[in-house]
Amino acid sequence: MAETTTTAAQSGMKPGRRPGTKKAALYAGIALLILLVPIYFQAAPGLGFLVRIFVIVGIWVLLALGLNIVVGYAGLLDLGYIAFYAMGAYAGVLIGQATSGVLGGATYWVMLIPGALAGAITGIALGFPVLRLRGDYLAIVTLGFGEIVRIALNNDFLGLSNGATGLPRGSEVMVQPGMIDWLSSNVHFMTPFGGEFVFTSNVFWYFVVVLLCLIAIVVINRLDDSRLGRAWVAMRENEVAAAACGINITTQKLWAFSLGALSGGVAGVTFAYVQQFISPESFTFMESVFVVCIVVLGGMGSIPGVIVGALLIKGIPDLIQGLAVAGVFKVSGDVNSMITGYRFLVFGLLMVVMMAVRPQGIIPSARRARELRPEDERILEEEDQQMWDVEHRDPGPVDHP
């Protein structure tokens, strides 16, 4: 550890984080929790559906981590991010269905590659034409792009997507990873909490999604401290100055777009194989908005923030609905439909309150929090005032020193 710290200092980057014992304990606690959660809920009678919710939340964490690269690090507002998710999902299913005869139980794992590539290539394809755009203009173009992808899928583009009916077609089924069968018939035991634990497909997907998220987190964490990550911060804070430092703005933006999209593609394939079915309905503008909200609510550029954001925005509504359906709290049909109906109202209110009270997000990244510190703003304002005063002074005689 000491060695990595010195190299980090030598290369002039941020000093390496030395995880103290406290931090190690925290990580161990989180690991244990991640491991025990599915076992507990799977075994508890009537709560098995929670594992499923965690799988979905995990997929959204993956999505949000990807968008976080684009929005949080590179500072490019992308409102059509769900298009990459869709591309990954459709590529994974189309290619998967064509090759599953050969690949069998390995289909999902192999499909992660075309899924990721489909995302990344779409990211670059979108990235090129919009490189010159910034802020609101970029947001609008990406929004349009997301809609184009969805509409193309809906219209059975090139006869591939099977329109609104979705994939797989007719009587086709998607091949599940081979491990699921083996695990569910061989891994089962009585838990100390009571109830029998069976390693179901939900538990399997839970661990797959956790693994994918962990990989994404490690990669993004490395990026954050890298030359690329630094270039993104510089670009976000001042594009002209960044260019003057020799940063190739074009390449950096394309990297951000393609890496973010790659993560979206992987999430898409996983989503498709978890659901065993995809249709354009899962890739609407609203979903793009949800991902942006997760990133903004959690804290732009912050990995823990994004995870908390996904838990709140994707997890809680599903949880409430799931609990209601499972009959954990006795609610009438009216209340149930109220929960579904008022979800967006509460969600909207939550966003408004958040932006007013804590604009940097629930768990902001250290740098982002600094960007929003009021005392810095005061200094900058004073500066602006000074600049203004000087620029607007009487053009009297210039002093000769």
Binding residues vs another protein (CB under 8 A): 10-12, 227, 230-231, 233-234, 237-238, 240-250, 367, 370-371, 375-376, 379-380, 383, 386-387, 390-391, 395-401
CB of 184 to another protein, least distance (A): 50
Whole-angstrom distance, CA of residue 165 vs CA of residue 280: 8
Q: What is the largest CA-CA distance in the chain?
A: 91
Burial of 14 (0-12, 13-18, 19+ CB in 10 A): middle
Q: Helices (DSSP H) in 11-48: which residue ranges?
A: 21-43
Minimum Å gap between C-beta 37 and another protein is: 36
CA distance 40 to 34: 11
DSSP string covering 165-183: G-BS-TT--PPPPHHHHHH
Q: Which is nearer to another protein, 11 or 155 (CB)?
A: 11
d(CA 363, CA 370): 13
**CB-wise, 189 or 388, nearer to another protein?**
388
CB-CB contact of 364 with 295 (8 Å): no
Lookup result for tokens 């990297």? 255
- Taking CA atoms, 360 is separated from 354, 363, 365, 370, 372, in Å, by 9, 8, 8, 9, 7
Query: Closest approach of Cβ 187 to another protein, in Å?
Result: 48
Shortest Å distance, C-beta 234 to another protein = 5
Q: What is the sign, positive or negative, of the torsion defined by CA atoms of 358, 362, 368, 370?
A: positive
Distance of closest approach, residue 68 Cβ to another protein, in angstroms: 17
Q: Which of 76, 231 has the CB closer to another protein?
A: 231
Q: Are 303 and 102 in contact (CB under 8 A)?
A: no
For residues 123 and 261, the answer to whether their CB atoms sit within 8 Å is: yes
Of residues 72 and 114, the one with the C-beta less far from another protein = 72
Q: In terms of CB distance, is 242 or 259 closer to another protein?
A: 242
Closer residue to another protein in complex, CB, 244/357: 244
Q: Between residues 33 and 387, which has the closer beta carbon with respect to another protein?
A: 387
d(CA 77, CA 150): 19
* CB-nearer residue toward another protein: 158 or 244: 244
Tell me if 260 sits within 8 A of 84, measured CB to CB. Answer: yes
Please, what is the minimum distance in Å from the beta carbon of residue 294 to another protein? 23
The CB-of-230 to another protein minimum distance in angstroms stands at 7
| Residue that has been written with the tokens 């498709």 in this structure | 272
Instruction: Return the number of the residue (327 or 401) whose C-beta is nearest another protein.
Output: 401
How far apart are CB 298 and another protein at their closest, in Å? 19
- Give the residue with the Cβ less far from another protein, 135 or 348: 135
Closest distance of CB 226 from another protein, Å? 11
Question: Can you tell me the distance from the alpha carbon of 187 to that of 197, in angstroms, rounded to the nearest whole number?
Answer: 8
State in angstroms the smallest separation of the CB of 156 from another protein. 41
Q: Identify whether the C-beta of residue 285 lies closer than 8 Å to the C-beta of residue 265.
A: no
- Beta-carbon contacts of 39 under 8 Å, excluding residues fewer than 6 positions away, are 191, 197, 203
Between CA 81 and CA 268 the distance in angstroms is 11
Minimum CB–partner distance for residue 265 and another protein (Å): 29
Helices (H), 69-200: 82-103, 107-130, 135-154, 178-186
Of 169 and 370, nearer to another protein (C-beta) is 370
